[in-house]
């Protein structure tokens, strides 16, 4: 069990927090690609405690920009997405996907003030139906994570996102907890009525798994094991990858290529991809 202090450290993700600073060193899933349409309506995004606005410009590029217009603070969610930029409805200031102001219709024609105004915006890229963003300090972002499930050709993958009302660690730790399967999911199953030498059989027959954990360069690998047949053990091996990725064991090896991502929206909500 974590102490209250340690729990606060690992679950607070806003700007300036230790965990928020760490997570901003990585590319982070921001939303699904299908949620933003070319010159379509802006989309609200809550990510690592920051309120942001996503939009796809005329050229198909995705921008992720601060919620409030830097002029008078009006929400850019109500802005007009048009002609390669997002235009604030209050005074018409227009911003491109980099956050640069590219038009100030309420300024005299000879004014160059627009070149001096830039909203906070985070670079975005897309892969596997997900819009990824980098919110960290590096001038050159790190590579995208080479997760096998996110590198499959079109037609071979599917992706979904689900909002959950808990912090990111509560979601993630439940995902890699294999012991709860025998109680929460299979609690009423009779082991004598399952097929021997199957996942269900071993999980229900032995509800007290033992564990082995190995630290890795990318996070940790763990394997719970249960007695099986012929003096063998039944293993279920899972991976945790920094900062919030999980590869859980499938029922039968080789049938699935899967990654599960637990992205903090704020300290009490997360998006599960």
pLDDT at 204: 78
The answer to whether residue 187 scores a pLDDT higher than 80 is no
- The tens digit of pLDDT for each residue in 193-245 reads 888 887 778 887 778 889 999 999 999 999 989 888 889 998 988 999 999 99
Q: In what order do the strands lie in the sheet with 101-103?
A: 80-82, 85-87, 94-95, 101-103
Q: Assign 3-state DSSP to the chain and report helix, strand, coil percentages, each to 5.
A: 20, 30, 50
- The tens digit of pLDDT for each residue in 57-74 reads 999 999 999 999 999 999
Model confidence at 133, in pLDDT bands (50, 70, 90)? very high
The SS3 assignment for 133 reads strand
Put simply, whether the predicted model's pTM sits higher than 0.85 gets the answer: yes
Question: Where do runs of H (alpha helix) occur along the chain?
Answer: 4-11, 18-23, 168-175, 199-205
pLDDT at 110: 87
């Amino acid at each position: 069990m974590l102490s209250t202090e340690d729990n606060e450290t690992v679950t607070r993700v806003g700007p300036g927090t230790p965990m928020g600073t760490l997570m901003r060193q990585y590319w982070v899933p921001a939303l699904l690609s299908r949620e933003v349409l070319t010159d379509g309506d802006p989309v609200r995004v809550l990510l690592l405690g920051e309120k942001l606005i996503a939009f796809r410009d005329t050229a198909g590029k995705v921008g992720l920009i601060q919620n409030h217009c830097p002029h008078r603070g009006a929400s850019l969610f109500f802005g007009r997405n048009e002609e390669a930029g997002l235009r604030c409805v209050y005074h018409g200031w227009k911003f491109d996907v980099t956050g640069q102001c590219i038009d100030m219709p309420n300024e005299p024609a000879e004014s160059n003030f627009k070149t001096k105004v830039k909203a906070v915006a985070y670079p975005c890229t897309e892969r596997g139906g997900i819009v990824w963003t980098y919110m960290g300090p590096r001038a050159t972002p790190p590579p995208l994570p080479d997760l096998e499930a996110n590198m499959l050709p079109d037609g071979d993958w599917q992706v979904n996102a689900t909002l959950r009302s808990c912090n990111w660690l509560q979601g993630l730790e439940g995902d890699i907890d294999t012991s709860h399967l025998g109680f929460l999911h299979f609690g009423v199953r009779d082991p004598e009525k399952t097929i021997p030498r199957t996942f269900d059989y071993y999980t229900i027959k032995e509800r007290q798994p033992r564990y082995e954990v190995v630290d890795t360069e990318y996070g940790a690998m763990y394997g719970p094991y249960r007695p099986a047949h012929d003096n063998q053990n039944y293993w279920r091996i899972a991976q945790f990858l920094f900062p919030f990725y999980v590869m859980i064991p499938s029922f039968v090896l080789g049938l699935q290529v899967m990654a599960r991502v637990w992205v903090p929206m704020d300290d009490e909500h997360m998006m599960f991809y």
